[in-house]
């Protein structure tokens, strides 16, 4: 299990945080940077953290908790934004955005590449489940 607490998540440090998480997971899970699961984990974590930063412009930095656990068969990611609150039901039920829409692709992508994807607590907690194979 890995736990991360980012006290000041911003657009400027987002990439370094995601890179650190995946560096640790490569060692823990014995996955390569070239593998599909690595790419999927990176993309899912990136999209959720980017949404936290992008869709709450009233905050200049965000306090975020990331918990990652795994079994032999699955990887569970939980990302918590204690200050977050958004209409996740509408987002997850939406169809693929049209090419002329400027937003809406990130959560659709996460939903598509994961085994399960859900939110809890008024959109404050995202849970993403992946098969390890």
- Render pLDDT for 56-84 as a digit per residue (tens, 0 to 9): 666 667 899 999 999 999 999 999 998 77
Give pTM, 2 decimals. 0.89
- Render pLDDT for 42-62 as a digit per residue (tens, 0 to 9): 999 999 999 888 876 666 678
**What are the structure tokens assigned to 49, written together?**
């953290």
pLDDT at position 92 is 66
pLDDT at position 5 is 96
The CATH number linked to 39 is 3.30.565.10
**pLDDT, averaged across the chain:** 89
Residue 98 host element (H or E): none
Domain enclosing residue 81, as ranges: 2-131
pLDDT at position 79 is 96
pLDDT at 95 > cutoff 90: no
Structural domain count of the chain: 1
Q: How far apart are CA 93 and CA 25, in angstroms?
A: 30
pLDDT at 40 > cutoff 80: yes
Average pLDDT over residues 18-23: 98
Choose the weakest-confidence range: 9-13, 30-34, 87-91.
Answer: 87-91
């Amino acid at each position: 299990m890995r736990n991360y607490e980012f006290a000041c998540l911003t657009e400027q440090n987002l990439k370094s945080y995601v890179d650190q998480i995946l560096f640790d997971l490569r060692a823990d899970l014995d996955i390569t940077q070239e593998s599909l699961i690595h790419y999927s984990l990176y993309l899912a974590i990136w999209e959720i953290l980017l949404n936290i930063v992008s869709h709450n412009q009233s905050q200049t930095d965000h306090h975020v908790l990331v918990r990652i656990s795994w079994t032999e068969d699955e990887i569970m990611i939980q990302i918590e934004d204690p200050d977050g609150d958004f209409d996740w039901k509408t987002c997850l039920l939406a169809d693929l955005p049209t090419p002329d829409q400027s937003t809406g692709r990130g959560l659709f992508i996460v939903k598509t590449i994961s085994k399960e994807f859900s939110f809890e607590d008024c959109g404050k907690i995202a849970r993403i489940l992946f098969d390890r194979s």
